[in-house]
Amino acid sequence: MSLGSNLDLLTVTFYGTAIALILIGLYAALVKRSLIKILIGLSIVDSGINLLLVSIGYLKGGTAPIFSPAVIDKNPAMVDPVPQALVLTAIVIGFAVTAVALALVIRLYRHHKTVNIDEIKNLKW
Amino acid sequence: MNIIHITLGILLGGAILTYFANKISGVVRDLMFISTIVVAAALFFIKMTPDTVAVFNLGGITLSLGMNHLGLLFSIIILGLAVLAGFYSLPYMKGKDNLGFFYMNYLLSIFGMMGIVMSKDLVSFFIFWEIMTWSSYLIVVYNGNKANKIGIKYILFSALGAYSMLMAIVMVYSQLHSFSIADLSAGFTTMPASYQITIALLLITGFAVKAAMMPLHVWAPDAYSNAPMSYTAMFSGALSKMGVYGLVIVFVTMVSHLPQNFWVRETIAWLGAITAGMATIYAIFQDDAKKLLAYSSVAQLGYIITGVAIGTEISMIAALMLSIVHGMFKANFFMVVGAVERQAGTTDLTVLTGLIRKMPWTFFSALMSAIALAGIPPLVGYVGKWMLYESLISNGNYILVIVIFFASTAGFLYVFKILYSIFLGQEEPEFENVKEAPALMVIPMVIIALLLGFFGAFPGYLLKYIDNALVVMGYPVSQGKWWEMTTLFNAWGNKVSTDLIMYTTITVFVTIAIVLFYRWKNGRYVSTKDISLSGEMPKEDENYSFKLDFYKPFERAISPLLRYKISKYYNEFADGMEAFFDWTRRIYNGNAQTYAIYVITFLVILLLIANNIFTV
Amino acid sequence: MVGSPVQLIAIPLFAAFLIPLLGKAWKELVRITPGVVILYLLYLSVDLLNYTIEHGRVVEVIAGWTPPWGIDLVFSPFSGFLATLMLFMGLLVWIYSYRYQTFEDYDDYEPTLKYYLLLMMMITASVGVVLTGDIFNLFVFIEILGITAYGLTAYYRHRDGAEASFKYLFIGSLSSTFLLLAIMIIYSQLGTLNMADIAVKAHELKPVYKITALVLFLVAFGIEAEMFPLNGWAPDAYSQAPAPVGAAFAGIVVKAGLYTVIRLIYTLFEVGGTYEYLIVMGLITMFFAEFAAFSQTKLKRMLAYSSIGQMGLVLVAFGIGKEEGVYAALFLMFNHAIIKSLLFMSGSYLVYKSKNKYISELNGVGKMMPVTSFLFALGAFAIVGFPPFAGFWSKLAVLTAAADSGMLLIIALILSISLIEVIYYLRVVNRIYFVKRDTDLGITKPTPQAMFSMLVLGAIILIVGFYPDVITGVLHKASATLLDKGSYINDVLSLSQTIN
């Protein structure tokens, strides 16, 4: 399960994609000026993290973690169910946060008539 | 339950009740206030015996209170003045706003001071010190004019002092694991030298702020003059003495054990002397009576600090004597100015004039205080100064003597200025209707004035208490060696009979008075404007008194010295700090993205240096 | 023992769904129900706290899965003390907000409903954060806490609430990202999410993973604990949220944030250098926050920065370590919760009518609102540590703890910072009482409910100030519990006192 072992192509792809997503998302969140783009960036970061989390539990050739004798008899190697549960939770949370954030962006736009983050700084110092 | 609980309980409870009594009526409040002080003082002096102790356990810390002769000496100053100034306060403050608040803080500051002189451990000392500080602060800003500037200056310096004291307290704790003052004086020598010197200096800083020692005095003139005069009498008379009380303890229990090469005694003695000199000069040029007296307080405290710092037996007697006497005459002086302010509506020395016939009793008190302040026999003021000079000379500090002698002589100038400007000179129509202050204000002033005379003849009554206090601090008995009830000795075996001086002076004055009175029949009553100058008859409305630019020539002579005002440097420092604070908050520039960049940057930096700061 | 820890979380969650339904029956129920629920939870929590102080911690397993597999709730004197404090503050905040007038400006009761729902959930999530023994569960509670806090920050439409809320959300989601990454590293290496189990197995972690996870945790939790330079969101959120929410932030939310840092450093990872890290970061936080507070012109922002500064001091106290340090830190947290909430509550009534909430608009308000002003002044005196008020004892505790460890420089720095604090607080008090009123702003009298909760807080300040022993016993017990890591692990994993 550890990051160092069985570095095959699939694993590398998973991890690589996840890290790339995180970095892309961070780039968008830190550099783009539009609130919407920042939010998209944050969502991408979220996706990257979720992907990373799922890949940790992945076991090559493993089956779905369901306790049914038929499946287990055929292939006793299951993928780890915990990361999947975590990811489901994280996705739900990410969804909720994004929804709140979008609502805030709408409010900000109505108030400031812009979504440029540089112009929305009434509160400072 | 012993007298310590009772005294403190009465003062604290009285403070709170006085505040609420204000909601009922002004009379109830006044009665509550004055009876609190009187009852507390009466019980205290009747019941208090040295070696009474009271112990509280709070928050895992043992707070112990007790009383010894040194504390008793200062309690006399505190409670004595509190009673007199308390009575004075009733008519003086009449009709002002928020009196419940004022009297509550008045009592709280007395509560704090009494707590200080009773504290036997550093934490309770600090607690009472802070209570005293913030209650007096609330009174300083009570008048409201420039409350922010004056009040903040006072509380800033007070907090600076209090926190250096707190720093010293926890340093003591880290070494001795005890807060007790007795343990401190016993264990002081066992500490490392660096701790010894730091603790001593921090404590001195803390006390020097309250005792208004240069360069920590800048709050004092404003704070003294801005508080209501009935409180300033306490403030300058008693509260500043708490700094002296602390200094006495520090010098006796700590500085005497320090290695000689730190020059602590010499430095503080010199700072005290310079404070005395500079403040005297400033006092001379003040045109406001309150300000003048405020500077004068700083100056007088300078002598006391010098006396404490020299630390010989005679100089300690001198310092404590001066503390008591200064408490008396300065409180009296502030009361006089308060009475003038109340009756004549101003304290501006260039406006006030010729009140001697309107306020004769006030003038009498002012005159007595002035004589005591200037240190002229036969009033008690000269006893302390006499001893201070003697201690300095016998100690070989001739330059200090010169500085102090200069300051003391120059002290004549400002007391003369205040006496002349307020009471003498021409009578002006605008003060036509000024009357003598109410009896409740006059009586405390006259009592103090008479006491100044009485102790001038019999200084032994005060020196007895001082002697007891010094014995507690480990000095030998001084009675018979330095003084008798009515006699002062000096190091060369000469002696001065104080009662003889008093009787002689009284005889002389009475004789003159009789002669004058006898010749009265031939005199005629003239207006104070009935003067002629060089054959020229001045008009009725022209004022020929010379109190504008009273000491102009003198001022011109020493003006180069005056340019170095220490508060200028403080102000520059404060401005600089403020600009710096303002600059730092620009880190929060309001942009969410910048904040996010801070977060990421911090994360990256932490990741990079993590291996160096965290060890797995 | 009347209930179990899980009720502290389950009941409000259930109530949250009921409230809208109850509101359909009688609108006032929307206001009443959260209070009743919190009151009951407080009763439960006090009772549990009494029990745990005598019998040691209570570990509750959810759904029968024993640790390290299932999720567990740990109610120890330490976490229980914090939970009780949060619920108590929550109750006072609820009383304060009851009939808070701004909410009545809206015609419909929809905003009221949202407000009380969010407030109750925020308190619940904070309690969940301190009780949970599972690190992913912690993440979930932090997210719930975050979302409710974002919502409450943006509560007022006419202010810049949305802006503040967006900043909070932006930084908050970075925090959750790092938190999730750290959890992932832990899980991938150790295969467990239970905190006690992680603490046992932490030494198996390879240094590189351990340090990376630690740093990610520190940054994630540092954001919640308002550590400099991660706290850009905090002053905005404090100042834009409705007054009771500001009080709740100071009294409840930031306590949860601090708890996470402490749990991480004291229980989860035993890594050298973390205590020093706490001290250094705490001092930096203090310095910058107090500098910023000094030059604020708006009252609530000043209070917010001051709150951050106090959190810095708490971090320093935790960094000093040992029982004295932890005791001092908990004492500070308690005092800060009480005092800063009082300041927010009374302060916001003092500038109620003002649009910009400038400090200069406080001039002379003391004559118009004597009681509220008095309470504000009391809070100001207490927070700068004047005896005989509550703040003094905690300050003394911090200093003696530092002195015990010989950290004289730290004492000096703390004291010099306190000087700044004294100035800016007393400047405000001066304005309230001793400067003449120069604006024609009217005043709004506090509602009786608001006055009641402020008076309760004021009374606590005085009681603790005059007789600190009412609280010190619990604090000593709590700090001893936090430091006894072995028994934490033992209790959770061997389930000595488990309730199923």
CA distance B68 to B56: 18
Query: Could you give the ipTM of this predicted complex?
Result: 0.91
Alpha helix stretches (DSSP H) within A1-125: 9-31, 35-57, 69-74, 81-112
Mean pLDDT over C13-36 rounds to 84
Q: Which residue of C has its CA nearest to A118?
A: C163
Alpha helix stretches (DSSP H) within C98-160: 101-104, 110-131, 135-153
CA distance B90 to B58: 37
How far is Cα of residue C214 from the mean position of the Cα atoms in its chain?
A: 23
A-chain residues near B585 (CB < 8 A):
125
The CA–CA distances, whole Å, from B7 to B46, B64, B269, B602 equal 11, 15, 35, 57
Neighbours of chain B (3+ CB pairs under 8 A): A, C
How many residues are present in chain B?
616
**In percent, how much of chain B has pLDDT > 70?**
93
C163–A121 C-beta distance less than 8 A: yes
The beta-strand segments (E) located in B258-338 are none
Q: Which residue of B has its CA nearest to C277?
A: B613
Residue C221 sits at the vertex; the CA angle it makes with C219 and B599, to the nearest 5 degrees, is: 35
Burial label for B548, CB within 10 Å (0-12, 13-18, 19+), is exposed
CA distance C394 to C414: 13
CA gyration radius for chain C? 22
CA distance A121 to C163: 7
The CA–CA distances, whole Å, from B18 to B34, B102, B130, B225, C463 equal 9, 10, 21, 25, 20
How many CB atoms lie under 10 A from the CB of residue C408? Answer: 16
CA distance C428 to C293: 12
For residue C223, give how far its alpha carbon lies from the nearest alpha carbon of chain B (Å). 8
Burial label for B359, CB within 10 Å (0-12, 13-18, 19+), is buried
Among A26, A33, A124, the residue with its CB nearest the CB of B590 is A124
Rounded to 10 deg, the angle between the B264-284 and B289-310 helix axes is: 160
C171–B163 C-beta distance less than 8 A: no
Whether the bond between B378 and the residue before it is cis, its omega within 30 degrees of 0, is: yes
Does B209 have pLDDT greater than 80?
A: yes
Q: Name the least confident of A79-88, B397-406, B540-549.
A: B540-549
Mean pLDDT over A93-103 rounds to 90
Short-list C331, C461, C457, CA closest to C390: C461
Burial label for C393, CB within 10 Å (0-12, 13-18, 19+), is buried
Tell me the per-residue pLDDT of B245-258, one tens digit each, with 9 for 90 and over. Answer: 988 888 888 887 77
- What was the pLDDT predicted at B529? 62
Q: Is C160 on the interface with A (CB under 8 A)?
A: yes
What is the overall mean pLDDT for chain B?
Answer: 83
Whether the bond between B215 and the residue before it is cis, its omega within 30 degrees of 0, is: yes
Tell me the per-residue pLDDT of C393-410, one tens digit each, with 9 for 90 and over. Answer: 888 889 888 888 888 888
- What was the pLDDT predicted at C339? 92
Tokens of B244: 């002296």
Evaluate if pTM is beyond 0.80.
Answer: yes
- Please, are residues B368 and B449 in contact by the beta-carbon 8 Å criterion? yes
Whether the bond between C20 and the residue before it is cis, its omega within 30 degrees of 0, is: no
C176–A93 C-beta distance less than 8 A: yes
Burial label for B485, CB within 10 Å (0-12, 13-18, 19+), is middle
C215–B610 C-beta distance less than 8 A: yes
Does C186 have pLDDT greater than 80?
A: yes
Tell me the per-residue pLDDT of C136-177, one tens digit each, with 9 for 90 and over. Answer: 889 999 999 999 999 888 888 777 888 888 889 999 988 998
Whether the bond between C12 and the residue before it is cis, its omega within 30 degrees of 0, is: no
B-chain residues near A124 (CB < 8 A):
588-591
- What was the pLDDT predicted at C64? 67
B593–A38 C-beta distance less than 8 A: yes
- What was the pLDDT predicted at B528? 64
For residue A30, give how far its alpha carbon lies from the nearest alpha carbon of chain B (Å). 6
CA distance B431 to B423: 11
How far is Cα of residue B190 from the mean position of the Cα atoms in its chain?
A: 34
CA gyration radius for chain A? 20
Q: Name the least confident of B22-26, B107-111, C223-227, C243-247.
A: B22-26
- What was the pLDDT predicted at A1? 43
Q: Which helix (H) or strand (E) holds B484?
A: strand B483-484
At C496, the pLDDT band (50, 70, 90 cuts) reads very low
Tell me the per-residue pLDDT of A41-65, one tens digit each, with 9 for 90 and over. Answer: 989 998 998 888 888 776 666 666 6
**In percent, how much of chain B has pLDDT > 90?**
1
Tokens of C111: 């905003």
- Please, are residues B347 and B97 in contact by the beta-carbon 8 Å criterion? no
CB contacts < 8 Å between B and C, how many?
Answer: 177
A117–B590 C-beta distance less than 8 A: no
In one letter, which amino acid is B1? M
Tell me the per-residue pLDDT of C339-391, one tens digit each, with 9 for 90 and over. Answer: 999 999 898 888 887 777 888 888 888 888 888 888 999 999 999 888 888 88
CA distance A67 to A60: 18
Among B585, B589, B593, B600, the residue to mutate for chain A (most A Cβ within 10 A)? B593
How far is Cα of residue A35 from the mean position of the Cα atoms in its chain?
A: 19
B-chain residues near C434 (CB < 8 A):
141-144, 147-148, 151
At C500, the pLDDT band (50, 70, 90 cuts) reads very low
CA distance C255 to C225: 8
At C89, the pLDDT band (50, 70, 90 cuts) reads very high
Sorted by where each begins, the domain ranges of chain B are 1-262, 263-564, 565-613
Tell me the per-residue pLDDT of B210-232, one tens digit each, with 9 for 90 and over. Answer: 888 888 888 888 888 888 888 88
Does B100 have pLDDT greater than 70?
A: yes
Residue B268 sits at the vertex; the CA angle it makes with B262 and B273, to the nearest 5 degrees, is: 140
Does B586 have pLDDT greater than 50?
A: yes
Q: Which residue of B has its CA nearest to C324?
A: B60
Write the secondary structure of B1-23 as one string of H (helix), E (strand) and C (coil).
Answer: CCHHHHHHHHHHHHHHHHHHHHH
- Please, are residues C37 and C9 in contact by the beta-carbon 8 Å criterion? no
A125–B585 C-beta distance less than 8 A: yes
Tokens of A98: 């994004």
C184–A56 C-beta distance less than 8 A: yes
CA distance B240 to B277: 18
- What was the pLDDT predicted at A60? 65
Tell me the per-residue pLDDT of B287-344, one tens digit each, with 9 for 90 and over. Answer: 888 888 888 888 888 888 888 888 888 888 888 888 888 888 888 888 888 888 888 8
Instruction: Enumerate the β-bridge partners of residue B425.
Output: none
φ, ψ (nearest 5 deg) of residue C60: -115, 135
Tokens of C376: 């504000």
Residue of B519 and B172 predicted with greater confidence: B172
Mean pLDDT over B345-368 rounds to 82
Whether the bond between C229 and the residue before it is cis, its omega within 30 degrees of 0, is: yes
**DSSP assignment of B129-156, as one string?**
HHHHHHHHHHHHTTT-TTIIIIIHHHHH
- What was the pLDDT predicted at A3? 47
Short-list A42, C382, A10, C233, CA closest to B592: C233
Mean pLDDT over B493-511 rounds to 82
Short-list C153, C446, C128, C380, CA closest to C256: C128
Among C174, C291, C426, the residue with its CB nearest the CB of B155 is C426
Does B595 have pLDDT greater than 50?
A: yes
- What was the pLDDT predicted at C238? 87
Sorted by where each begins, the domain ranges of chain A are 9-119
- What was the pLDDT predicted at B539? 64
A-chain residues near B593 (CB < 8 A):
29-30, 33, 38, 117-118
| CATH class of domain segment(s) A9-119 | mainly alpha
